[in-house]
Structure 1
Amino acid sequence: MAALPAQPDLSLRTYEGDEGTDRHAWAQLVLPVRGSLTLDIAGREGRFDVARAAYVPAGAWHTTIGDRPNRSLVLDVATADIPDGIADRLGTAAFVPLAPTAAALVDYMRLLVEDQAQSPEHLARWVPLLLDALGRERARPLSRLQATLAAVEDALGRPWTATLMATHANLSISRLHELFRAELGTTPRAWLAERRLARVREWLVRTDRPIAAIATDAGYGDQSALTRAMRDAMDTTPAAYRRQQREAASKIP
């Protein structure tokens, strides 16, 4: 097995197909921020998505399968850095439903990593908070929104509306809005707009795809609609954002 990391390490990863079986000397938390994955941890197999985290104990054989679009925050951390009792609880559960505090922490760090604003100081503060939230906070039951959120994430280019989401979740419009407010602190429309912009930012930075194609695949009618959305939300344009992020990345040793 590889040596322990000198300090916790966080990265955004995409899994494609059967990644094979692996094990390592550190513990690992897999926190999906898009789509879903199948993970076999020492013979315990489960499918998990943005509503749950997976915990791989140090030394455990595990196999990751990405059979649909996905993206996850992956935290590598020495078991010694996990407070007493929390590692045991996470290891026993393997797949841990995210309570609201943990979900908010994951989303916060996702934004920092996507915008390349993450720093060792951020990570040093974030890891203890996340572990405490996962290990000590009472998790909420799996939401009726879970499958619908995953479906929207997998097909952002579809003309999603609150009505279509409610139909997918087998809910009334009013009940859909209640669940979004209670569990995500937002509305279906605002959540969809945020997820589309997050996907656009990812594609602008990580691919060379034409902006018009990115706009269409992310659910905007055309490039002009995407440009208006980015100006309103971020006071920038797609081309300017891509250029700024790549210039910033080029300066990182």
Structure 2
Amino acid sequence: MAAFPAQPDLSLRSYDGDTGTDRHDWAQLVLPVRGSLTLDIAGREGRLGVARAAYVPTQAWHTTIGDRPNQSLVLDVAGVDIPDALADRLASEAFVPMAPPAVALVDYMRLLVEEGTHGADQLVRWVPLLLDALGRQRPRPLSRLQAMLAAVEEALALPWTAADMARHANLSTSRVHELFRAELGTTPRAWLAERRLARAREWLARSDRPIATIATEVGYGDQSAMTRAMRDAMDTTPAAYRRQQREAATKIP
């Protein structure tokens, strides 16, 4: 069993296969940001994905199973008072659909963690905001977008359109647009662009894949298209971003 953290701790993790059973002396929130995974919490099994998190109560036995590419922010909730009513609700639900405000908060912190720019002060401010966002929303049924979002994440190289997403989710294109606005606060096109850019950043920072290969594998037509996307969104280029991330990594003790 891991040592009890003195304050909230946040990490970006990927799960491959059955990780075995574990428990710890603090509550934990598992907040998927890419793909999907399965979590068994004290005998209750559920599927997690974008906009559907999990709450693991203190001392609850749990098993995480990653059967496809995935990535989650894992928040060890220590040193923070969770209101009793909220803790009871999260524990009773276990698997928590997240409204757009919570999704936006998670995505913001995910970006900071990927860039290595988050710190303890930011985390102490972010955790109460996240808990407040989770506390304000009402429980909702499992998103009809979840399986489709996971499928898109696993095949970003394909030329996805909103109509393609609608067919995969067995919904009309207009209904897909409505659900994206209601659940994610964005559009299919904007969400897809953000996920492609996020995957590109991840591989630029953590792999030696050629930039042209990364461009095609995440869905850009060619390297120049990815370069334009990064210039527009981040005012940088793939080569400059990779160099910056590697230089930053060498400075971490």
Per the shorter chain, which TM-score range? over 0.9
Partner of 2:107: 107
Contact 1:32 1:71 in 2 (8 A): yes
Partner of 1:42: 42
Partner of 2:6: 6
Q: Distance in 2 between matches of 1:87 and 1:238?
A: 42
Partner of 1:73: 73
Q: Distance in 2 between matches of 1:129 and 1:84?
A: 16
- The DSSP-based 3-state class of the residue aligned with 2:84 is coil
Normalising by structure 1, we get a TM-score of 0.93
Partner of 2:188: 188
- 1:103-141 CA deviation, whole Å, 9 max, x = no partner? 111111111111222111110111011112223421343
Q: Mark the runs of 5 or more structure 2 residues left unpaired by the alignment.
A: none
Contact 1:38 1:48 in 2 (8 A): yes
Q: Distance in 1 between matches of 2:217 and 2:80?
A: 43
Q: Distance in 2 between matches of 1:136 and 1:172?
A: 30
Q: Using a 3 Å threshold, how does the CA distance of structure 1 residues 144 and 80 change in structure 2: closer, same or farther?
A: closer
- 1:72-115 CA deviation, whole Å, 9 max, x = no partner? 00001237632222222211111111122211111111111112
Identity %: 81
Q: CA deviation at 1:145?
A: 2.1
- 1:52-86 CA deviation, whole Å, 9 max, x = no partner? 11111121111110001100000012376322222
- RMSD of the alignment, in Å? 1.7
Name the amino acid aligned to 1:111: L
Q: Distance in 1 between matches of 2:248 and 2:29?
A: 28
Q: Using a 3 Å threshold, how does the CA distance of structure 1 residues 192 and 214 change in structure 2: closer, same or farther?
A: same
1:164 and 2:164 are equivalent in the alignment: yes
Q: Distance in 1 between matches of 2:123 and 2:75?
A: 10
Q: CA deviation at 1:176?
A: 2.4
- The DSSP-based 3-state class of the residue aligned with 1:178 is helix
Q: Distance in 1 between matches of 2:30 and 2:232?
A: 33
Q: Distance in 1 between matches of 2:34 and 2:19?
A: 18
Contact 1:215 1:223 in 2 (8 A): yes
1:120 and 2:120 are equivalent in the alignment: yes
Q: CA deviation at 1:251?
A: 2.0
After superposition, residues 145-156 of structure 1 pair within 5 angstroms as 145-156=145-156
Q: Using a 3 Å threshold, how does the CA distance of structure 1 residues 136 and 163 change in structure 2: closer, same or farther?
A: closer
Name the amino acid aligned to 1:36: S
Normalising by structure 2, we get a TM-score of 0.93
- The DSSP-based 3-state class of the residue aligned with 2:96 is strand
Show structure 1 runs of 4+ deviating over 3 A.
none
Q: Using a 3 Å threshold, how does the CA distance of structure 1 residues 127 and 77 change in structure 2: closer, same or farther?
A: same
Contact 1:58 1:79 in 2 (8 A): no
Q: CA deviation at 1:50?
A: 1.1
Q: How many corresponding residue pairs?
A: 253
Deviates more, 1:11-20 or 1:56-65: 56-65
